[in-house]
């Protein structure tokens, strides 16, 4: 069991409150429930990687902040990094804030996919893998359809094509051993769903 300090627990709780309110207008494909699932999975992955409690504290904060100021939902005048630094500047050291920023601002698959120089950071890997696992399995399927409907995607076929294309890519970007095992199981559900859909139309 992870034993955070009283101060660490308070910072995590305050961050959860802030993020929950911030994301009230996000659609259900990227809601606060997604954030909590990513935080919890990232923690499980971190434990499997034998990371220290202080590392897991940073991982949890990075996971909680990873969808703040998401371009799909916001036209913020402040960047994700600005928001994170402003939120923590009075309560955490610059070094810890730098690590939270590194994690939160580099979690997305599209950012890593387009980055010519991959970032080597085990704490980041935990959150990246957790976020990607949440795009797989039954939860992942539900999230793809929710996002497609909100964005008025023209047909179910288009949602299925996007699901197939993106999950095929993200499977190549899972890094940790525990996450790879979980991802394989959940990707099999995606493949079975797509095969059944194609056989039904």
Distance in Å from the first CA to the final CA of the chain:
48
Between CA 25 and CA 156 the distance in angstroms is 24
Domains present along the chain, CATH in parentheses: 6-195 (1.10.3210.50)
pLDDT digit string (tens) for 100-120? Answer: 999 999 999 988 988 878 899
126 neighbors 46 (Cβ within 8 angstroms): yes
- Burial status of residue 200 (CB atoms within 10 A of its CB: 0-12, 13-18, 19 or more): exposed
* Predicted confidence band of residue 31 (pLDDT cuts 50, 70, 90): very high
pLDDT, residue 152, reads 76
**Run of H or E residues at 121:** none
Entry pTM: 0.94
Residues 6+ apart with CB under 8 A from 159: 144, 145, 148, 153
pLDDT digit string (tens) for 156-195? Answer: 999 999 999 999 999 999 999 999 999 999 999 999 999 9
pLDDT, residue 76, reads 62
Q: Which two structure tokens, joined as six digits, stand for 6?
A: 């009283």
List Cα–Cα distances, 143 to 34, 82, 120, 121, 146, in angstroms: 9, 28, 28, 27, 5
Between CA 45 and CA 175 the distance in angstroms is 10
96 neighbors 156 (Cβ within 8 angstroms): no
User: What angle (nearest 5°) sits at the alpha carbon of residue 64, between those of residues 176 and 128?
Assistant: 25
Within 13 Å and on the Cβ side, how many CA atoms surround 95? 2
pLDDT, residue 73, reads 59
pLDDT digit string (tens) for 73-109? Answer: 566 667 999 999 999 999 999 999 999 999 999 999 9
* Predicted confidence band of residue 26 (pLDDT cuts 50, 70, 90): confident
pLDDT, residue 77, reads 62
């Amino acid at each position: 069991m992870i034993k955070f300090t009283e101060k660490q627990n308070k910072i995590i709780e305050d961050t959860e409150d802030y993020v929950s309110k911030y994301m009230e207008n996000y659609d259900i494909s990227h809601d606060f429930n997604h954030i909590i699932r990513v935080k919890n999975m990232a923690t499980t992955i971190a434990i499997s990687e034998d990371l220290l409690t202080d590392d897991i504290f940073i991982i949890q904060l990075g996971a909680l902040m990873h969808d703040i100021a998401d371009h799909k939902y916001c036209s913020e005048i402040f960047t994700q990094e600005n928001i994170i630094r402003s939120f923590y500047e009075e309560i955490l050291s610059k070094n810890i804030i730098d690590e939270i920023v590194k994690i939160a601002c580099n979690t997305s698959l599209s950012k890593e996919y387009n980055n010519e120089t991959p970032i080597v950071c085990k704490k980041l890997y935990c959150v990246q893998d957790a976020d990607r696992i949440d795009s797989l399995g039954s939860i992942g399927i539900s999230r793809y359809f929710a996002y497609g409907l909100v964005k008025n995607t023209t047909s179910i076929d288009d949602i299925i094509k996007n699901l197939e294309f993106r999950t095929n890519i993200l499977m190549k970007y899972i890094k940790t051993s525990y996450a790879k095992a979980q991802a394989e199981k959940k990707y099999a559900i995606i493949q079975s769903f797509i095969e059944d859909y194609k056989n039904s139309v």
